Structure 1
Amino acid sequence: MAIRWQEQVCLLTGASGGIGQAIAYKLAGLGVSLILTGRNADSLSALMASLPGQHTLVCADITTEAGRDKVVAVCHDRHISMLINSAGISETGDFTTTPAQRIDTLLLTNLYAPMALTQRLLPLLQRASSAYVVNVGSTFGSIGFACHAAYCASKFGLRGFTESLSRELASSNVGVFYLAPRATKTGINSAAVVSMNQALGNKVDPPERVAEALVSQLERNKARWFIGMPEKLFARLNGALPELVDRALAKKLPVIQRFLTSATKEKLL
């Protein structure tokens, strides 16, 4: 059944981020009514003012219980039919010197918060005739990449959560989807990561490509959607023959370490 976009009410987390903003523009252009959530009130206000249609702004930190309470209260009033967990942060560098507090914050933001928010909102989504949960993951949710240990752990966890929940709700009205962008030009990328991608020749997508992929994924009812080649191939290969990917990435390790371990040392100074 085709999605009736103009009938959708969507909670979008991380709306003030690069991917979040691109998704907001794409969905608003399709007629979706948005509940925009993030921590930067000024950015959210500017975004909402630039979007077509009528939308709601909720400035809240969803990594806290109070923040989730605030968001869920608004969703009760709006009868949501769609949840897009787009909020996320990154952490790169030498794992042995990464402060534990940064690991805690990353796992809380990228994994626990979307799980907790989804759990709170499922009873509301189940009231809709058809509902959708989209978790924005990463290619690094399928491929362990050097100097990204904590980030990969969070995205591997998000992918596992999505897959399990999708199977649990297979006979319900709620579809659960996992969208895996590759490197994307957003503010969460440090200068070191940008330089590393350039040195490795990695393709970097604009956020708009992620937004377009999300719409295509839902319209085609694809539970999993990986953006870009060869990343899509590598993700599948890593699942079947990880030793081949081990060897391929081992050749890139000196370049990765040159950029990302030095960046870690600078952060600690």
Structure 2
Amino acid sequence: MILGIDAGGEMVKVFGGAMGHDSFPSDLGEWRDRRLVNTPGQDDMEWEYEGQKGFAGTLAQMESELGGAMKGETKAHFDGKMRVLLAIHRFIPNARGVDPSVQLVTGQPISHHTEEEKSKIIDMLTGKHDLIVNGQRKIFRIKQVKVAAEGAAASMAQPVEGLIRILDIGSGTVNGASLLNMRYIDRESFTEPFGLATLGTSDESAIARRVNTIATSKKWKRNDLIRLIGGGAEIAELVNKVKEFFPNAEVFAPKRLSPKFSNAVGFYEIGLMLYG
């Protein structure tokens, strides 16, 4: 099975081609014994893994005192690992005779897309995993892991010739990726260490102005073709403010999915090329 998994700071997004897609809140929290247990909702997850127990998704939001979703410029941490493992557990079939192995492409913000950080992610994910979620045990193997640059990878969902910029406005970071004939341009790309869930303001004009400031410092031009992805691409007022600086900016929603799935779809397309 090939999966593209975007283990974001707000939502985890998964794309598996013909097998479909999935998403759930990224929150993790401590486990506790509950007096009254409701029938689990779709995104309520009580998990056990390697001697640890916890809540995830909407259950962590509702019942964990110390729950939340870790955000930042790297996914090389325990929260990032659990988001990916929970995503796989939800996605793989629970049937005998089915090969429970996964070939995976996931992501890392551009600023920390280094060999060291990628190696940490690959090492923590590769191998056999025994995970129980809501009493259902699944044992699976992640055979191969590749780590792609968030934002840039979304271009693979619909390749184009010429110059294109990808502006990924997420919950914890803003990634700006530049590609010329599908070749990545590092010096004209960036990560801003803030996102929609970490800012102390919801002023769309101020956010767009800051994005314009850093983008123009990286040689982005007013009339460049820009694809807007991530959660910010679903906020109409923010999209309109970005278009004041970049009139050719357009919301990108591959496979008729939300713009939030752009990276996951791009990861999957990379997986097809690498593993297909």
Under a length normalisation based on structure 2, what TM-score does the superposition of the two structures give? 0.35
* Bigger strand share: 2
- Of Structure 1 and Structure 2, which has the larger fraction of its residues in helix? 1
